[in-house]
Amino acid sequence: MSKIETGGDNPLHARPISLEEAIDCWGPDLSNWPDIALVRRAREALLANRSFRAHRDLAVADAQRLKATAAALDQRIADRGSLGRIEAGVLRLAQPKPVHWYRRIAAVAAVMVVAAMLGSAVEFASAPGTNAPSVQIVQLDPLMFGPADF
């Protein structure tokens, strides 16, 4: 198959590439190709070019075999309990991080605010409840009331 020049202006792929090379670069699924012009040519070639069709079919088959192999590997990892061991091992080995000074200050400030709020609330709640005898203080103005009034 002849080389197709995509042109130097194309930012996606500025080098010559054949349709077979495009399949090797971007995979057999044409919807994932970044070059629209090349996709159009590939669609035409799939209908007209037997050797290109065979190349693409082989790429599809290889991709499926790789997918099956990946699934088999996943199953094998799960069967061996690797993920549980990894999580337990990492959490065991992960050292607790030291608390930063600004977090300490924030914690102390938060404790003080909460304590102050609690104290105010208690004071506010308990003040009307006390049954202590009330004492009324009256201050008399000496300009209005003379010694005789006392």
Partner 1 sequence: MRYRLVVGGAVGTIVESSGEKGRAASLARMDDSGSEAAIRADQALMRAIADGEEDAFARLIRAEAPRLTRFVAAILSDISEAEEIVQETLLRLWKNAERWEPNARVGTYLHRIAYRLSIDRLRRRRPHVDIDDFDDLLEDDSLSPERRLVRIEDVRLVHEALDRLPDRQRAAIVLAHFQELPQAEAAAVMAIGEHAYESLLARARRRLRQLLAGQGEEDGEEGTGL
Chain contacts with partner 1 (rule: CB under 8 A): 11-12, 15, 21, 24-27, 29, 32-34, 58-59, 62-63, 65-70, 72-77, 79-80, 82-83, 85-87, 89-91, 93-94, 96-97, 99, 103
Beta bridge mates, 4: 17
Q: How far is the CB of 44 from partner 1 (least distance, A)?
A: 21
Q: How far is the CB of 120 from partner 1 (least distance, A)?
A: 31
> In the structure encoding, which two tokens stand for residue 75, read together?
């199953």
Q: How far is the CB of 12 from partner 1 (least distance, A)?
A: 7
Instruction: Kindly tell me which of 46 and 59 has the beta carbon lying closer to partner 1.
Output: 59
Q: Is 74 helix (H, G, I), strand (E, B) or coil?
A: helix
**Those residues with Cβ within 8 angstroms of residue 83's Cβ, 6 or more apart along the chain or in another chain:** 77
Q: How far apart are CA 44 and CA 23, in angstroms?
A: 14
Instruction: Kindly tell me which of 94 and 137 has the beta carbon lying closer to partner 1.
Output: 94
Instruction: Kindly tell me which of 75 and 120 has the beta carbon lying closer to partner 1.
Output: 75
Q: How far is the CB of 126 from partner 1 (least distance, A)?
A: 39
Instruction: Kindly tell me which of 40 and 65 has the beta carbon lying closer to partner 1.
Output: 65
Q: How far is the CB of 111 from partner 1 (least distance, A)?
A: 19
Beta bridge mates, 17: 4
Q: How far apart are CA 20 and CA 17, in angstroms?
A: 8
Which residue carries 């669609």 as its tokens?
43
How many residues in total does the chain contain? Answer: 150
Q: How far apart are CA 105 and CA 32, in angstroms?
A: 53
Instruction: Kindly tell me which of 102 and 124 has the beta carbon lying closer to partner 1.
Output: 102
